[in-house]
Structure 1
Amino acid sequence: MGKLIWHQWGRLLAITSGVSSLWAFLYRKFFWDMIGGTLGPTGLIPGQNTQPLVNLVVNIPLFQSFTLVLGLFTLVLELPLPHIEGTAIHRSIILRVVLYFITGFIGIMVYQTVDCAIYYIITSGVYAVAMSKGELISFEPGRMTDEI
Protein backbone atom coordinates (compact mmCIF):
# COMPACT_ATOMS: atom_id res chain seq x y z
CA MET A 1 0.00 0.00 0.00
CA GLY A 2 1.04 3.57 -0.45
CA LYS A 3 2.09 6.23 1.95
CA LEU A 4 -0.38 8.96 2.95
CA ILE A 5 0.61 12.32 1.53
CA TRP A 6 -0.84 14.69 4.09
CA HIS A 7 -0.84 17.88 2.06
CA GLN A 8 -2.73 16.19 -0.78
CA TRP A 9 -5.42 15.07 1.66
CA GLY A 10 -5.49 18.59 3.08
CA ARG A 11 -5.84 19.97 -0.43
CA LEU A 12 -8.94 17.85 -1.08
CA LEU A 13 -10.45 18.88 2.26
CA ALA A 14 -9.74 22.55 1.54
CA ILE A 15 -11.35 22.39 -1.91
CA THR A 16 -14.45 20.77 -0.43
CA SER A 17 -14.61 23.37 2.34
CA GLY A 18 -14.06 26.26 -0.06
CA VAL A 19 -16.87 25.20 -2.37
CA SER A 20 -19.32 24.45 0.43
CA SER A 21 -18.62 27.75 2.21
CA LEU A 22 -20.04 29.64 -0.78
CA TRP A 23 -23.58 28.50 0.16
CA ALA A 24 -23.59 30.77 3.20
CA PHE A 25 -24.08 33.84 1.06
CA LEU A 26 -27.40 32.55 -0.27
CA TYR A 27 -28.97 31.35 2.99
CA ARG A 28 -28.50 33.53 6.06
CA LYS A 29 -29.02 32.28 9.59
CA PHE A 30 -27.12 32.98 12.78
CA PHE A 31 -25.92 29.69 14.28
CA TRP A 32 -25.82 30.68 17.96
CA ASP A 33 -29.41 32.00 18.06
CA MET A 34 -30.40 29.43 20.67
CA ILE A 35 -28.54 31.42 23.34
CA GLY A 36 -31.23 33.39 25.13
CA GLY A 37 -33.75 32.67 22.37
CA THR A 38 -37.44 31.98 22.74
CA LEU A 39 -39.70 29.72 20.75
CA GLY A 40 -42.22 31.67 18.68
CA PRO A 41 -44.73 31.00 15.91
CA THR A 42 -42.02 31.18 13.22
CA GLY A 43 -39.47 29.11 15.08
CA LEU A 44 -36.65 30.17 17.34
CA ILE A 45 -36.49 33.93 17.91
CA PRO A 46 -32.99 35.10 18.95
CA GLY A 47 -32.69 36.90 22.27
CA GLN A 48 -31.73 40.54 22.68
CA ASN A 49 -28.24 39.60 23.91
CA THR A 50 -27.32 38.20 20.47
CA GLN A 51 -28.88 41.03 18.43
CA PRO A 52 -25.55 42.62 17.32
CA LEU A 53 -24.36 39.30 15.90
CA VAL A 54 -27.73 38.65 14.28
CA ASN A 55 -27.38 42.02 12.53
CA LEU A 56 -23.91 41.07 11.26
CA VAL A 57 -25.10 37.71 9.93
CA VAL A 58 -28.70 38.19 8.82
CA ASN A 59 -29.26 41.88 8.07
CA ILE A 60 -25.76 42.82 6.91
CA PRO A 61 -24.13 39.69 5.47
CA LEU A 62 -20.67 40.58 6.82
CA PHE A 63 -19.61 37.09 7.92
CA GLN A 64 -20.99 35.63 4.69
CA SER A 65 -18.94 38.13 2.70
CA PHE A 66 -15.81 37.11 4.60
CA THR A 67 -16.51 33.41 4.05
CA LEU A 68 -17.20 34.09 0.36
CA VAL A 69 -13.88 35.89 -0.10
CA LEU A 70 -11.94 33.34 1.97
CA GLY A 71 -13.65 30.44 0.16
CA LEU A 72 -12.69 31.93 -3.21
CA PHE A 73 -9.13 32.51 -1.94
CA THR A 74 -9.05 28.87 -0.84
CA LEU A 75 -10.00 27.77 -4.35
CA VAL A 76 -7.37 30.09 -5.88
CA LEU A 77 -4.75 28.69 -3.50
CA GLU A 78 -5.65 25.02 -3.97
CA LEU A 79 -6.58 25.10 -7.68
CA PRO A 80 -4.07 27.69 -8.85
CA LEU A 81 -4.05 29.47 -12.15
CA PRO A 82 -0.88 28.92 -14.20
CA HIS A 83 0.66 32.26 -13.19
CA ILE A 84 0.12 31.57 -9.45
CA GLU A 85 1.27 27.96 -9.52
CA GLY A 86 4.75 27.57 -8.09
CA THR A 87 4.93 30.95 -6.35
CA ALA A 88 5.89 31.28 -2.70
CA ILE A 89 2.26 31.88 -1.70
CA HIS A 90 1.16 28.71 -3.46
CA ARG A 91 3.90 26.59 -1.85
CA SER A 92 3.50 27.99 1.69
CA ILE A 93 2.06 25.47 4.13
CA ILE A 94 2.26 27.91 7.05
CA LEU A 95 -0.02 30.33 5.21
CA ARG A 96 -2.54 27.56 4.70
CA VAL A 97 -2.49 26.50 8.36
CA VAL A 98 -3.14 30.04 9.56
CA LEU A 99 -5.62 30.95 6.81
CA TYR A 100 -7.75 27.83 7.23
CA PHE A 101 -7.84 28.20 11.00
CA ILE A 102 -9.04 31.80 10.70
CA THR A 103 -11.56 30.83 8.01
CA GLY A 104 -12.92 28.08 10.24
CA PHE A 105 -13.26 30.51 13.13
CA ILE A 106 -15.21 32.99 10.97
CA GLY A 107 -17.31 30.25 9.38
CA ILE A 108 -18.55 28.89 12.72
CA MET A 109 -20.72 32.01 13.15
CA VAL A 110 -22.91 31.25 10.14
CA TYR A 111 -25.32 28.33 10.36
CA GLN A 112 -24.76 27.09 6.81
CA THR A 113 -20.96 26.95 7.13
CA VAL A 114 -20.62 25.13 10.44
CA ASP A 115 -19.72 21.85 8.74
CA CYS A 116 -17.18 23.40 6.39
CA ALA A 117 -15.79 25.45 9.30
CA ILE A 118 -15.10 22.20 11.14
CA TYR A 119 -13.51 20.82 7.96
CA TYR A 120 -11.37 23.97 7.71
CA ILE A 121 -10.11 23.38 11.26
CA ILE A 122 -9.36 19.74 10.38
CA THR A 123 -7.61 20.90 7.19
CA SER A 124 -5.49 23.28 9.24
CA GLY A 125 -4.45 20.39 11.44
CA VAL A 126 -3.73 18.16 8.44
CA TYR A 127 -1.45 20.81 6.93
CA ALA A 128 0.26 21.22 10.32
CA VAL A 129 0.99 17.47 10.34
CA ALA A 130 2.25 17.72 6.76
CA MET A 131 4.55 20.55 7.80
CA SER A 132 5.81 18.59 10.82
CA LYS A 133 6.57 15.59 8.60
CA GLY A 134 8.63 17.80 6.30
CA GLU A 135 6.38 17.63 3.26
CA LEU A 136 6.85 20.27 0.60
CA ILE A 137 4.53 21.49 -2.10
CA SER A 138 6.85 21.66 -5.06
CA PHE A 139 6.23 22.77 -8.60
CA GLU A 140 6.80 21.18 -11.93
CA PRO A 141 5.39 23.01 -14.96
CA GLY A 142 2.04 21.52 -15.84
CA ARG A 143 1.48 19.42 -12.73
CA MET A 144 1.96 19.45 -8.97
CA THR A 145 4.42 16.94 -7.58
CA ASP A 146 4.99 15.56 -4.12
CA GLU A 147 8.21 15.72 -2.18
CA ILE A 148 8.57 14.08 1.17
Structure 2
Amino acid sequence: MGKLIWHQWGRLLAITSAVYMVWASFWAYLYRKFFWDMIGGTLGPAGLIPGKNTKPLVNLVVVIPLLQTFTLVLALLALALEMPLPLVLNTSIHRSIMLRIVLYFLAGFTGIMVYQTVDCAIYFIITSGVYAVALSKGEKITAIGEGRIVVV
Protein backbone atom coordinates (compact mmCIF):
# COMPACT_ATOMS: atom_id res chain seq x y z
CA MET A 1 0.00 0.00 0.00
CA GLY A 2 1.33 3.43 -0.86
CA LYS A 3 1.57 6.63 1.09
CA LEU A 4 -1.39 9.01 0.89
CA ILE A 5 -0.48 12.22 -0.91
CA TRP A 6 -2.79 14.71 0.73
CA HIS A 7 -2.73 17.44 -1.88
CA GLN A 8 -3.69 15.01 -4.64
CA TRP A 9 -6.68 13.86 -2.59
CA GLY A 10 -7.49 17.51 -1.95
CA ARG A 11 -7.31 18.18 -5.68
CA LEU A 12 -9.90 15.49 -6.40
CA LEU A 13 -12.13 16.81 -3.62
CA ALA A 14 -11.78 20.37 -4.91
CA ILE A 15 -12.68 19.43 -8.49
CA THR A 16 -15.73 17.51 -7.29
CA SER A 17 -16.81 20.33 -4.99
CA ALA A 18 -16.30 22.98 -7.65
CA VAL A 19 -18.30 21.16 -10.33
CA TYR A 20 -21.05 20.52 -7.80
CA MET A 21 -21.04 24.19 -6.73
CA VAL A 22 -21.23 25.46 -10.32
CA TRP A 23 -24.25 23.25 -10.94
CA ALA A 24 -25.88 24.19 -7.63
CA SER A 25 -25.25 27.91 -8.25
CA PHE A 26 -27.20 27.75 -11.48
CA TRP A 27 -30.10 26.15 -9.63
CA ALA A 28 -29.77 28.77 -6.90
CA TYR A 29 -30.45 31.49 -9.46
CA LEU A 30 -33.71 29.80 -10.39
CA TYR A 31 -34.91 28.81 -6.90
CA ARG A 32 -33.70 31.52 -4.54
CA LYS A 33 -33.75 30.40 -0.92
CA PHE A 34 -31.67 31.47 2.03
CA PHE A 35 -30.63 28.38 3.99
CA TRP A 36 -30.80 29.83 7.52
CA ASP A 37 -34.28 31.36 7.15
CA MET A 38 -35.67 29.03 9.82
CA ILE A 39 -33.89 31.04 12.52
CA GLY A 40 -36.51 33.33 13.97
CA GLY A 41 -38.96 32.45 11.22
CA THR A 42 -42.67 31.79 11.59
CA LEU A 43 -44.86 29.33 9.77
CA GLY A 44 -47.40 31.08 7.58
CA PRO A 45 -49.99 30.03 5.00
CA ALA A 46 -47.38 30.04 2.19
CA GLY A 47 -44.69 28.26 4.20
CA LEU A 48 -41.85 29.56 6.31
CA ILE A 49 -41.65 33.35 6.64
CA PRO A 50 -38.12 34.48 7.57
CA GLY A 51 -37.69 36.55 10.70
CA LYS A 52 -36.61 40.17 10.76
CA ASN A 53 -33.15 39.24 12.06
CA THR A 54 -32.27 37.52 8.77
CA LYS A 55 -33.53 40.32 6.51
CA PRO A 56 -30.05 41.46 5.25
CA LEU A 57 -29.05 37.94 4.24
CA VAL A 58 -32.43 37.27 2.65
CA ASN A 59 -31.86 40.40 0.56
CA LEU A 60 -28.44 39.11 -0.55
CA VAL A 61 -29.88 35.77 -1.66
CA VAL A 62 -33.48 36.32 -2.69
CA VAL A 63 -33.77 39.94 -3.83
CA ILE A 64 -30.25 40.41 -5.23
CA PRO A 65 -28.59 37.07 -6.12
CA LEU A 66 -25.21 38.29 -4.89
CA LEU A 67 -24.20 35.20 -2.92
CA GLN A 68 -25.11 32.95 -5.85
CA THR A 69 -22.78 35.00 -8.04
CA PHE A 70 -19.97 34.78 -5.45
CA THR A 71 -20.35 31.01 -5.17
CA LEU A 72 -20.29 30.64 -8.95
CA VAL A 73 -17.17 32.79 -9.32
CA LEU A 74 -15.34 31.02 -6.47
CA ALA A 75 -16.20 27.61 -7.94
CA LEU A 76 -14.91 28.65 -11.36
CA LEU A 77 -11.71 29.96 -9.74
CA ALA A 78 -11.28 26.62 -7.99
CA LEU A 79 -11.70 24.78 -11.28
CA ALA A 80 -9.18 27.07 -12.97
CA LEU A 81 -6.73 26.43 -10.14
CA GLU A 82 -7.15 22.66 -9.90
CA MET A 83 -7.40 21.96 -13.61
CA PRO A 84 -4.80 24.55 -14.51
CA LEU A 85 -5.17 26.72 -17.52
CA PRO A 86 -1.97 27.15 -19.54
CA LEU A 87 -1.82 30.71 -18.24
CA VAL A 88 -1.72 29.53 -14.61
CA LEU A 89 0.41 26.40 -15.06
CA ASN A 90 3.91 26.56 -13.51
CA THR A 91 3.21 29.80 -11.63
CA SER A 92 3.44 30.47 -7.93
CA ILE A 93 -0.36 30.82 -7.84
CA HIS A 94 -0.74 27.25 -9.06
CA ARG A 95 1.81 25.93 -6.56
CA SER A 96 0.43 27.77 -3.51
CA ILE A 97 -1.29 25.50 -1.01
CA MET A 98 -2.06 28.42 1.30
CA LEU A 99 -4.02 30.17 -1.47
CA ARG A 100 -6.09 27.03 -1.93
CA ILE A 101 -6.82 26.77 1.78
CA VAL A 102 -8.06 30.36 1.91
CA LEU A 103 -10.00 30.14 -1.37
CA TYR A 104 -11.78 26.91 -0.45
CA PHE A 105 -12.63 28.08 3.04
CA LEU A 106 -14.05 31.29 1.57
CA ALA A 107 -16.05 29.27 -0.98
CA GLY A 108 -17.38 27.08 1.80
CA PHE A 109 -18.28 30.04 3.99
CA THR A 110 -20.09 31.78 1.12
CA GLY A 111 -21.82 28.64 -0.08
CA ILE A 112 -23.23 27.74 3.32
CA MET A 113 -25.60 30.72 3.10
CA VAL A 114 -27.41 29.55 -0.04
CA TYR A 115 -29.77 26.58 0.26
CA GLN A 116 -28.67 24.79 -2.93
CA THR A 117 -24.93 25.04 -2.27
CA VAL A 118 -24.79 23.85 1.36
CA ASP A 119 -23.51 20.34 0.55
CA CYS A 120 -20.71 21.47 -1.73
CA ALA A 121 -19.80 24.19 0.78
CA ILE A 122 -19.24 21.50 3.40
CA TYR A 123 -17.09 19.59 0.89
CA PHE A 124 -15.05 22.75 0.26
CA ILE A 125 -14.44 23.17 4.00
CA ILE A 126 -13.29 19.54 4.18
CA THR A 127 -11.04 20.20 1.17
CA SER A 128 -9.56 23.20 2.94
CA GLY A 129 -8.75 20.95 5.90
CA VAL A 130 -7.15 18.35 3.65
CA TYR A 131 -4.91 21.01 2.11
CA ALA A 132 -4.06 22.26 5.62
CA VAL A 133 -2.85 18.75 6.48
CA ALA A 134 -0.84 18.68 3.24
CA LEU A 135 0.75 22.00 4.17
CA SER A 136 1.56 20.77 7.68
CA LYS A 137 3.21 17.64 6.26
CA GLY A 138 5.40 19.81 4.04
CA GLU A 139 4.02 18.70 0.70
CA LYS A 140 4.80 20.87 -2.31
CA ILE A 141 3.03 21.10 -5.65
CA THR A 142 5.11 21.46 -8.78
CA ALA A 143 3.85 21.27 -12.31
CA ILE A 144 6.03 20.09 -15.12
CA GLY A 145 5.05 20.11 -18.76
CA GLU A 146 1.46 19.62 -19.84
CA GLY A 147 -0.41 19.52 -16.54
CA ARG A 148 1.42 16.61 -14.93
CA ILE A 149 1.57 17.19 -11.20
CA VAL A 150 4.38 15.59 -9.26
CA VAL A 151 5.35 15.67 -5.60
CA VAL A 152 8.74 17.02 -4.61
Spell out structure 1 runs of 4+ moving beyond 3 A.
Answer: none
Residue 113 of structure 1: how far off its partner (Å): 1.0
Q: What residue in structure 2 maps to residue 21 of structure 1?
A: 21
Among 31, 35, 39, which residue is 1:35 paired with? 39
Aligned runs of 1:1-148 on 2, under 5 Å?
1-22=1-22, 23-27=24-28, 28-148=32-152
Q: Partners of 1:86 and 1:11 in 2: how far apart? A: 16
Q: What amino acid is aligned across from residue 102 of structure 1 in structure 2? A: L
Aligned residues: 148
List per-residue Cα deviations over 1:86-107 (Å, max 9, x = no partner). 1110010010011111111111
Structure 2: runs of 5 or more not aligned: none
The normalised TM-score by structure 2 is 0.92
1:144 deviates by 2.2
Give the partner amino acid of 2:105: F
Contact 1:39 / 1:45 at 8 angstroms: preserved in 2?
yes
Percent pairwise identity: 71
| Whole-angstrom distance in 2 between the partners of 1:88 and 1:108 | 29
Cα pair 1:7 1:126 within 8 Å, conserved: yes
Contact 1:25 1:61 in 2 (8 A): no
Alignment check: 8 A CA contact 1:25 1:65 kept: no
Shifted more, 44-53 versus 57-66: the winner is 44-53
Q: Distance in 1 between matches of 2:123 and 2:133?
A: 15
Conserved in 1, the CA contact under 8 Å of 2:89 and 2:147?
no
Deviation by residue 1:116-146 (Cα, 9 ceiling, x = unmatched) = 1111111111001111111111111023232
Unaligned stretches of 5+ residues in structure 1: none
RMSD across aligned C-alpha pairs, in angstroms? 1.2
